[in-house]
Amino acid sequence: MNWEDFRHWGRRAADWAADYHAGLRNRPVRAQVAPGAVLSALPDAPPEGAEAMQAIFDDFEQTLMPGMTHWQHPRFFAYFPANAAPVSVLAEYFVSAIAAQCMLWQTSPAATELETRVCDWMRQAIGLPDGFTGVIQDSASSATLCAVLTMRERALDWQGNRAGLSGQPRLRVYCSDEVHTSVDRAIWIAGLGEENLVRIPTQGATRAMDAEALRAAIAADRAAGHLPAGIIACTGGTSAGASDDIAAVMDVADAEGLYTHVDAAWAGSAMICPEFRSLWAGVERADSVVMNPHKWLGAQFDCTTHFLRNPDDLVRTLAIQPEYLKTHGADGVVNYSEWSVPLGRRFRALKLWFLIRAHGLEGLREMIRNHVTWAQDLAARLEATEGFEIVTQPMLSLFTFRHLGAEDLDAHNQDLLNQINDDGRIYLTQTRIDGAFVIRFQAGAFTATAEDVAMAYDVITDLAGT
């Protein structure tokens, strides 16, 4: 394909995308294909000769599309949303047409400076105080890895990268037992070892880590000769929205001199609404905070904003050339590749800029508030329906429930969930709460309406036979 052909196919792609989205409500949300069906429909060997674009496009539509789960479907209530507002899709189109590597200021000054600006817009939008500096990472998992590496280097007086970990005391990191698995992986990859991730039990309706138990665990570790390095708190855990009492965690961290990271990958988007900020009160005392505009907010994946109270610790951990440290930021030049693990960087700031401008914070707040209200309404309706139990009450737009109509509740709810997802009108996923299998519901699709959420009630109650 040359750029003249691109003109034609680019227009067709725009039409296709608009038609696809217009017809989404008529498609089953979760792909309804059997394992291996797509693979076996694809040729074993690559073509030796060039194929016509029309043939490639036809196979895309006929072979691949039936095997896609529609994450932008208005009735996608599974996992967490991965919203891609149309305007952010458009921004990504420009980004891929320009295809710049934005690792250094000089490799695209506008990309770097826009990143600085939109990160500060996001900082203001979610109510973090002046003084926090942001960077865009590819995912929350990467931001958490960066934070754990920073904890490690800081605790080892910046010797870990060069000298390795052998001969060092055991470094310890603390979190609740509700954190995302990205924390486990960060601990593995940073070389600390899973056994040194200390999981503090949670308590209460918010499923927050017990600050007294945290304090006791740190004291016991110090007595045993271990080296406490940091604490990872969470606001809006993946399973049921568990949220630590950030202020209480910060009290412990301050007293112990530990680096802190707050994982608000999903719930952070809701902080654009001031009324939800009490959920992470105390966050302004954290060293590092991550939230994903690529989840609820509508910035096409991937776009993670990572905020740092003092970026020097992160840059000191990740910069390849230590002398660079002396000037970073001072001469107006920031090289963001020194703030993340990969060297190459996409121009991710553009979609965030397009999104915030095209919708305005007020438009995005309205979406979030609607989702929260609709999820609460659905939870209340299910709670009032004979045979249903709300297992965890709504945390923002996320709650869990189960149906009580059988001896073996786990098997019964697994069966109900399978029926719901085979039906195709909505898509839900499961989790375990205190060992029990429960069904998870979150409202968060960019184009969801109150009617879409109401349909969830109809589908769930129909299939449960109530």
Ligand X SMILES: *Cc1c(COP(=O)(O)O)cnc(C)c1O
Q: How far is CA 338 from CA 34, 322, 329, 405, in A?
A: 44, 10, 12, 56
Using rule CB under 6 A, residue 371 touches ligand X: no
Using rule CB under 6 A, residue 441 touches ligand X: no
Number of residues that bind ligand X (CB under 6 A): 15
Tokens coding 204: 């209460």
Rounded Cα distance, 181 and 290, in Å? 15
Give the shortest CB-180-to-ligand X separation in angstroms.
3
Task: Rule CB under 6 A: choose which of 83, 238, 239, 269 binds ligand X.
Answer: 238
Give the shortest CB-183-to-ligand X separation in angstroms.
8
Longest dimension (CA), the chain: 70
Rounded Cα distance, 271 and 264, in Å? 10
Give the shortest CB-466-to-ligand X separation in angstroms.
31
Q: Which is nearer to ligand X, 108 or 235 (CB)?
A: 235
Q: Which is nearer to ligand X, 134 or 236 (CB)?
A: 236
Rounded Cα distance, 325 and 334, in Å? 10
Nearest to 81 by CA among 370, 276, 404, 434: 370
Query: Which residues have C-beta within 8 Å of that of residue 216, sequence separation ≥ 6?
Result: none
Residue 203 φ then ψ, to 5°: -150, 160
Task: Rule CB under 6 A: choose which of 108, 304, 413, 430 binds ligand X.
Answer: 304
DSSP per-residue letters across 183-213:
HHHHHHHTT--GGGEEEEPEETTTTEE-HHH
Give the shortest CB-287-to-ligand X separation in angstroms.
17
Per-residue x/- mask for ligand X, residues 406 to 425, rule CB under 6 A? --------------------
Using rule CB under 6 A, residue 178 touches ligand X: no
Q: Which is nearer to ligand X, 305 or 447 (CB)?
A: 305
Using rule CB under 6 A, residue 221 touches ligand X: no
Give the shortest CB-189-to-ligand X separation in angstroms.
13
Task: Rule CB under 6 A: choose which of 91, 95, 128, 140 binds ligand X.
Answer: 140
Give the shortest CB-290-to-ligand X separation in angstroms.
8
Number of CB atoms found within 10 A of residue 216's CB: 12
Using rule CB under 6 A, residue 346 touches ligand X: no
Task: Rule CB under 6 A: choose which of 108, 176, 288, 292 binds ligand X.
Answer: 292
Using rule CB under 6 A, residue 32 touches ligand X: no
Q: Which is nearer to ligand X, 108 or 141 (CB)?
A: 141
Q: Which is nearer to ligand X, 125 or 265 (CB)?
A: 265
Tokens coding 384: 């009032």
Q: Which is nearer to ligand X, 80 or 174 (CB)?
A: 80
Task: Rule CB under 6 A: choose which of 73, 154, 172, 180 binds ligand X.
Answer: 180
- 428 neighbors 439 (Cβ within 8 angstroms): yes
Residue type, 166: S
Q: How far is CA 402 from CA 44, 183, 188, in A?
A: 44, 28, 34
Rounded Cα distance, 227 and 128, in Å? 30
Q: Is the dihedral of CA 134, 138, 141, 142 positive or negative?
A: negative
Q: Which is nearer to ligand X, 86 or 236 (CB)?
A: 236
Query: Which residues have C-beta within 8 Å of that of residue 141, sequence separation ≥ 6?
Result: 182, 185, 186
Tokens coding 418: 């399978």
Stretch that binds ligand X, among 39-47, 135-143, 216-224, 411-419 (CB under 6 A): 135-143
Rounded Cα distance, 7 and 92, in Å? 17
- 336 neighbors 135 (Cβ within 8 angstroms): yes
Give the shortest CB-372-to-ligand X separation in angstroms.
16
251-280: contacts with ligand X (CB under 6 A): 263, 265-266
Rounded Cα distance, 161 and 315, in Å? 13
DSSP per-residue letters across 22-49:
HTGGGS-SS--PPTTHHHHTS-SS--SS
71-110: contacts with ligand X (CB under 6 A): 80
Give the shortest CB-293-to-ligand X separation in angstroms.
10
Q: Which is nearer to ligand X, 112 or 182 (CB)?
A: 182
Q: Which is nearer to ligand X, 388 or 399 (CB)?
A: 399
- 349 neighbors 118 (Cβ within 8 angstroms): yes
Give the shortest CB-387-to-ligand X separation in angstroms.
30
Q: Which is nearer to ligand X, 236 or 394 (CB)?
A: 236
Give the shortest CB-143-to-ligand X separation in angstroms.
8
Give the shortest CB-263-to-ligand X separation in angstroms.
5
Q: Which residues bind ligand X (CB under 6 A)?
A: 80, 139-141, 180, 182, 234, 236-238, 263, 265-266, 292, 304
